[in-house]
Amino acid sequence: MNFNTISALVLRYLFLYTRTPMRMVELVFWPVVDLVVWGNVTVFIQKNTNPEFGSFVLFFLGGMILWDILFRAQQGVAISFLEDVWTRNLLNVFVAPVRTFEYVGATFIVGFLRILVTAVVLGLISWVGYSYNIFSLHWWLIPFFANLMLFGWSLGMISTALILRWGQAAESLAWAIPFFFQPAVAVFYPVEDMPAWSQPIAWSFPPTYIFEGMREVMKTGTMNWNYLWYSAALNVVYLALAGGLFAWILNLTRKRGLLTKFATQ
Amino acid sequence: MSAAPPDTREVILEARELTREFDGVKALDRFSFKLHRGEVLGLLGANGAGKTTAMNCLLGLTLPTGGDLFAFGLPLHQHRIKILQRSNFSSAYTALPGNLLVRQNLIVFARIYGLKEPKKKIAELMELLEITHLADRVTGQLSAGESTRVNLVKAFLNDPELLMLDEPTASLDPDIADKVRKVVRKVQKERNIGILYTSHNMRDIEEVCDRVIFLHKGKIVCEGTPTDIVAQSSSATLEDVFIKIARDGEVIDEPAKQP
């Protein structure tokens, strides 16, 4: 065994961390997300010692399935874009008569189709394997689904804009960005069980209202309409901001002449 | 060099004083030219001369820092989509998605260009480029020559009036390169297409281009037909002219200007 060879290879991987700070962020990012999510879940469980709590544990399955809807919608946008980067097809698309909103619109549709597949598969498995029927949310499932998808699209545009700005070094953002929001949007625990300082932050994101609404429907069979309106209104704001950011960064990339470099790398 | 008679054909692409700076360095410096309908114009120069920057500006991928661009008489940046519907592009440095079949890739682009009978058009072009047998092959598994011809099918799909070809014969063997040149010339003549052509292969240029522009440090240093440029230089071949310009930045005493 040649230790020089091993040290040279170790050096090669360490160089990567110094050249692309995004990798350092990743080192810290995922453990912190896990810690915050499971820390809040633990607090939630500790506070609920009554015997009925067992039946509410299905919240976790519902939360997980609805979270995946958001995640797949975001992936539909970001991964579709990355597919064009990985296959060196981006330039072909940008020199074809394709308007920016047409390109983004196509990725939205891909996101929607991905959601359908995921929702059906997860719904079936959770029903057969864990006696949890996602359709117990009844017709509320449709506005839940729509609002989560809209926020997923916004995150997809933000991820794509950041990848456009920082190039392939920022590719991991395509997977990381939704999880940046996960601890804050109360997927697995109610907002009231989150630390007080983080609650106003939670209410500033549209999915929080959906996850709270899901728990309310599962608990009481009724839904607070205000949750849906707040979520929809916030989604409009986030979509507009994300669309604006994407268009601005795309234009900036053109101005700096980075688009072709990025598209052919 | 004596001035050529004025070209009365329609101007389909025009750059006026096109300038592009990167961090204070001028990649293109007041670059002006006209491309006429039915003409093949070669854009030549060493690496870093400004060809790629020019091509990127002309494709709307990079915004110029100065000057104006027009295609079919329309300002390029205001009418980008309208212009791109009548144009196309192929480069040795881009690819169609390698994980799709050739046929699938071409159908996607045929739909983008709004072709009425996409399958018929694709079949016609594949036959013309002698690649019908590749229709059901995975694009990523094609050889460089096959891939270039598939890219050319994509480039001819919308019957472009303006075509930009960026080093279409790069990495091809002489036989395939010759076939590519011949088919480009054939289609160009049949359909009266204006082509902007970049290449480092001087044989390409001599065989395909009606007129060439030599760029050096973002500026035009020489312009004319390949034969005239060689005849009026102290060099024996176009390749020698290229080398002289790349090293000295000049080839003849007084660069010929476009009328």
* Mean pLDDT, chain B, whole residue set: 89
Euclidean distance between CA atoms B223 and B215, whole angstroms: 9
Contact A260 B81 (CB under 8 A): no
Tokens of A213: 């609404």
Instruction: Spell out the residues 6+ positions from residue A119 whose beta carbon is closer than 8 angstroms to its own.
Output: A65, A68, A69, A134, A145
A89 in reach of chain B (CB within 8 A):
yes
Euclidean distance between CA atoms A59 and A219, whole angstroms: 9
Interface test with A, best of B63, B65, B88, B111 (most A CBs within 10 A): B63
Chain A residues with CB-CB distance to B56 below 8 A? 257, 259-260
Q: What percent of chain B has pLDDT over 70?
A: 94
- Amino acid letter, residue A239: L
Over the stretch A72-81, which tens digit does the pLDDT of each residue have? 899 989 988 9
- pLDDT band at A86; cut points 50, 70, 90: confident
Residue A217 above 90 pLDDT? Answer: no
Contact A97 B112 (CB under 8 A): yes
What are the structural domains, with CATH classification, of chain B?
Answer: 11-248 (3.40.50.300)
Over the stretch B182-241, which tens digit does the pLDDT of each residue have? 999 999 999 999 999 998 888 889 999 999 999 999 999 989 999 988 888 878 888 888
A249 in reach of chain B (CB within 8 A):
no
B60 in reach of chain A (CB within 8 A):
yes
pLDDT on residue A55: 63
Considering only CA atoms, which of A235, A34, A58, A86 is closest in space to residue A78?
A86
A216 in reach of chain B (CB within 8 A):
no
Q: Find the residue in B nearest to A91 (Cα).
A: B94
Residue B129 above 60 pLDDT? Answer: yes
* Mean pLDDT, chain A, whole residue set: 85
Contact A99 B109 (CB under 8 A): no
Considering only CA atoms, which of B163, B164, B172, B107 is closest in space to residue B142?
B172
pLDDT on residue B7: 75
Alpha-carbon distance B91 to nearest alpha carbon in chain A (angstroms)? 9
Chain B residues with CB-CB distance to A88 below 8 A? 93-95
B89 in reach of chain A (CB within 8 A):
yes
Residue B1 above 60 pLDDT? Answer: no
Euclidean distance between CA atoms B120 and B128, whole angstroms: 12
Q: Find the residue in B nearest to A94 (Cα).
A: B61
Contact A87 B85 (CB under 8 A): no
A260 in reach of chain B (CB within 8 A):
yes
Alpha-carbon distance B248 to nearest alpha carbon in chain A (angstroms)? 28
B22 in reach of chain A (CB within 8 A):
yes
